[in-house]
Amino acid sequence: MRLYQDNLPTPLTQPVSLSNYLTAAAPMMFPMPAFPTLSFSPGQIASVCETLEESGDIERLARFLWSLPVAPGTCEALSKHESVLRARAVVSFHQGNFRELYHILENHRFTKESHAKLQAMWLEAHYQEAEKLRGRPLGPVDKYRVRKKFPLPRTIWDGEQKTHCFKERTRSLLREWYLQDPYPNPTKKRELAHATGLTPTQVGNWFKNRRQRDRAAAAKNRLQQHGIASSTRSPPGSPDSLADGTTSLHNHPLNSPLSSPTSSIDLSVSTEHRGKLL
């Protein structure tokens, strides 16, 4: 009690305002409750972040990240764990905090296993921002322009160009398997999916689209060949068309009397002879 009284200013002996008196007395009169501190190690925190991310419980993940200590040393230790950084990026994306998402993705290098998910968030965030600015949904051309304007940062991209959403190395492997078997069974689809990093559904769709393109190209080639062959023959039913579909050479321009040199000479002689008779 004596210690408590000594620490308080005495209004009778010191000229002090009531507000200052209450400010000085508040910490002892109403002590702040001590918040529980987490005793997890950085590795354990990373494991919890990974588990919550896989469960899809983004709200719980956000609350867990908010409860983490903010001491400089602790934050630096946590920033070395990719699971924590990826969890922060996921929470920022779902909360619409795209500025924070871009900052995390641009300033920390992630392993290849995280690239696909982080790339999808990067693009989708820019798509949503573009839709908000334009006031309408984006079409394929609009999305292409957004991708050109905001390319993937090298922290979440290995630098390999993509063609039709698949990397060229993946497309080459798919073409090799297609030449061996255009109709792979489910087992082969799973093997190819594991080799390319795709899903069996993506592999099946690629093979289906490739078969359709090949059939369309073959049909177009047959039509072109048929048109060339038809141009070298007379239409069916014409006088120059024979029963077997070939063309008669009897009335061919090269066999016409007007085209032969002898016919022209005979014609001139007959004309001259007719003049003498007249």
Q: What is the mean pLDDT of residues 62-88?
A: 84
Would 104 be classed as within a structural domain?
yes
pLDDT band for position 234 (cuts 50, 70, 90)? low
Helices (H) and strands (E) in the chain — how many of each? 13, 2
Top mean-pLDDT range of 30-44, 167-181, 223-237: 167-181
Query: pLDDT band at 276, cuts 50/70/90?
Result: very low
* Statement: residue 97 has pLDDT above 70: yes
Beta bridge partner(s), residue 177: none
Q: Is residue 35 part of a domain?
A: no
Give the residue from 159, 194, 213 where a domain finishes: 159
Asked whether residue 190 is assigned to any structural domain, the reply reads yes
**Of 63 and 270, more confident:** 63
Q: What is the pLDDT of residue 132?
A: 95
Q: Which two three-digit tokens encode residue 40? A: 């997890």
Domain boundary among the residues 103, 132, 159 is at 159
Q: Are residues 69 and 109 in the same domain?
A: yes
How far is residue 100 CA from its own chain's centroid? 22
Q: Pick the more confident residue, 258 or 198.
A: 198
- Are 168 and 161 spatial neighbours (Cβ–Cβ below 8 Å)? yes
- Do residues 148 and 192 share a domain? no
Q: Which residue has the higher pLDDT, 108 or 21?
A: 108
Say yes or no: 48 and 99 in one domain: yes
CA dist., res. 33 & res. 264, Å (int): 124
Q: What distance in Å separates the CA atoms of residue 160 and residue 187, rounded to the nearest whole number?
A: 28
> Is the distance from CB of 189 to CB of 148 less than 8 angstroms?
no
pLDDT-derived band at 152, boundaries 50, 70, 90: very high
Neighbour count for residue 31 (Cβ, 10 Å): 8
In a domain, 7, yes or no: no
Can you read off the two tokens belonging to residue 155? 């922290």
Q: In terms of domains, do 84 and 109 share one?
A: yes
Give the domain range for residue 193: 166-230
The reported pLDDT for the residue numbered 64 is: 92
The pLDDT of residue 134: 93
52 and 138 share one domain: yes
Q: Are 224 and 122 within one domain?
A: no
Residue pair 98/124 in contact by the 8 Å Cβ criterion: no
Unique residue bearing structure tokens 């190690």 = 41
Instruction: Report the pLDDT value the prediction gives residue 38, as an integer from 0 to 100.
Output: 53
278 is a domain residue: no
Structural domains in the chain (count)? 2
**pLDDT category of residue 111 using cuts at 50, 70 and 90:** very high
Give 8-63 pLDDT, tens digit per residue: 555 545 555 545 544 555 455 445 444 344 567 888 888 999 999 999 899 999 99
Question: For position 20, what pLDDT does the model report?
Answer: 56
Which is more confidently placed, 28 or 92? 92
- Adjacent-strand bridge partners of 127: none
Mean pLDDT value of segment 120-142: 94
Residue 226 pLDDT class (50, 70, 90 cuts)? confident
State whether 103 and 138 are in the same domain. Answer: yes
User: What integer pLDDT is reported at residue 86 of this predicted model?
Assistant: 94
**Is residue 102 assigned to a domain?**
yes
Same domain, 102 and 183: no
Whether the full predicted model's pTM is greater than 0.75, yes or no, is no
Last residue of a domain, one of 114, 132, 159: 159
Neighbours of 84 (CB within 10 A): 22
* Cα gap 109→276, rounded to integer Å: 107
Higher pLDDT, 156 or 268: 156
pLDDT confidence of residue 68: 83
Specify whether 143 is located in the same domain as 185.
no
Note whether 75 and 152 are same-domain residues: yes
3 state SS of 199? coil
Q: Is the pLDDT of residue 248 over 80?
A: no
CATH number of the CATH domain containing 199: 1.10.10.60
Is residue 54 located within the same domain as residue 142? Answer: yes
Q: What is the mean predicted confidence (pLDDT) over 259-278?
A: 45
174 dihedral zone (left: phi>0; alpha: psi -120 to 50; beta): alpha
Any domain includes 80: yes
Establish if 98 belongs to a structural domain.
yes
Arithmetic mean of pLDDT over the chain: 76
What's the first-to-final CA gap in the chain, in angstroms? 161
Could you give the CA distance from residue 21 to residue 2 in angstroms, rounded to a whole number?
18
| Residue ranges of E strands in 165-254 | 166-167
Region 145-161: what's the mean pLDDT?
87
Q: Are residues 154 and 174 in the same domain?
A: no
